[in-house]
Amino acid sequence: MGTAELPPVSQLPWAVGRDRFVADAGAVTGEGACCLFLIDSAIPASARAGYAALVIAYARSNEPVTILEGGAAAILIRDGGVASGAIAARRLLKQMARLGLQETLRAGVSTLENGIHDAINSARELAASAPAGEVGVAS
């Protein structure tokens, strides 16, 4: 599923575009992380924007969220590194559990030390290998 199949970012409140997300990540001076949520492949493309909107809604105001290909949502964690990212991911999955949706998501958290592009790729791999409803964390 390509990005073109998702609603424009402007239709997902508080989402930031990929360029701004990359710029915000580049401005992180402390230990930052990328927390990425993958939606289960069984979820139809038409429902993925709703999942992304929930990730955005449950993120904190200082945690920018961008929507990636396939409906994945990435959250920028500005402080606390992967430990804070894992806490944010578990917090969000707990909120999704209240809706009965935690088993349709998985998360991955990676450090920003090699840049945001590597962090996104690493977090995606970690999420893909995590069990449903769980968080894969970079060691």
Q: Residue 121: which CATH number?
A: 3.30.70.270
Position 3 in a domain: no
pLDDT of residue 131: 96
Structure tokens at 57: 């809604």
Position 76 in a domain: yes
pLDDT of residue 138: 83
| Distance (Å, whole) CA 92 – CA 55 | 7
- This prediction's pTM: 0.87
pLDDT of residue 14: 65
Position 63 in a domain: yes
Q: Which domain holds residue 60?
A: 14-137
Q: What is the pLDDT along the chain (139 residues), one digit of tens a residue?
A: 344 454 444 445 567 889 999 999 999 988 999 999 999 988 888 888 888 888 888 888 888 999 998 889 999 999 999 999 999 999 999 999 999 998 999 999 999 999 999 999 999 999 999 999 999 998 7
Tell me how far apart the 2 most distant CA atoms of the chain are, in Å. 38
Give 76-138 as a DSSP string. Answer: EE-SSHHHHHHHHHHHHHHHHHHTT-GGGEEEEEEESTT-HHHHHHHHHHHHHHSPTT-EEE-
